[in-house]
Amino acid sequence: MSEIRSARPPADFTEVRHWILDSVDGLAKLRGSLFRELTGTPYLGSSSLDEIPEKMVLVTSELATNALRHGKPPTIVTLMVNGDEHLLDVADHDTSSVPALAEEREPGEGGFGLMLAQQLALDVGWYVSETTKHIWARFSPAHATPEGRPGASAEIPQS
């Protein structure tokens, strides 16, 4: 399995809201609350993924599910904004594991959340702080696809 790039997100984002999850039971509430935060309307649960909010809800759900299943609780989901761009940060307390793409798995075996994030987001990366591992995804309405991703993040030196 290959890894996603180790990089901190751009520093010019401001926190809008965060959610703390202890189990997968909170995922439905997270999806609804995030969608309402982004659009001001209720989340109906069925979407075409044509719009950025739907993509953000799907990616957030996938990353939070990964953190809850493979990380150490609690999982902290943070929504940040910079102008018309949004950044989602999903953190857990397992600082020893490295996020890896599930490229070798068959459909139906799960594990495609990171690949989905890379396909739907403008930029994706991960880093470790003192007590948490963070996986982040950046979204912009000006970039409907992740083609030509800018290198806006500073690389973290590997030790």
Q: What digits encode the pLDDT tens for the residues 131-141? A: 999 999 999 98
Q: How confident is the model at residue 43 (pLDDT cuts 50, 70, 90)?
A: confident
Q: How confident is the model at residue 158 (pLDDT cuts 50, 70, 90)?
A: very low
Give residue-wise pLDDT tens across range 53-80: 999 999 999 999 999 988 999 999 999 9
Give residue-wise pLDDT tens across range 102-127: 766 665 555 678 988 999 999 999 99
Q: Which domains does the chain have, with CATH numbers?
A: 12-137 (3.30.565.10)
Given a cut of 80, whether residue 100 has pLDDT beyond it is: no
Amino acid at 26: G
How long, in residues, is the chain? Answer: 159
Q: How confident is the model at residue 25 (pLDDT cuts 50, 70, 90)?
A: very high
Which pLDDT score, from 0 to 100, does residue 156 have?
Answer: 29
Short-list 85, 64, 96, 99, CA closest to 152:
85
Q: What is the pTM of this model?
A: 0.82
Stated as kind and residue range, the H or E segment containing 133 is strand 133-139
Report H helices in the chain: 27-39, 52-70, 113-120
Given a cut of 70, whether residue 29 has pLDDT beyond it is: yes
Across the chain, mean pLDDT equals 83
- What percent of the chain stands above pLDDT 70? 77
Q: What is the DSSP letter of 154?
A: P
Given a cut of 70, whether residue 144 has pLDDT beyond it is: no
Which pLDDT score, from 0 to 100, does residue 60 have?
Answer: 96
Pairing relation of β-strands 133-139 and 123-128? Answer: antiparallel
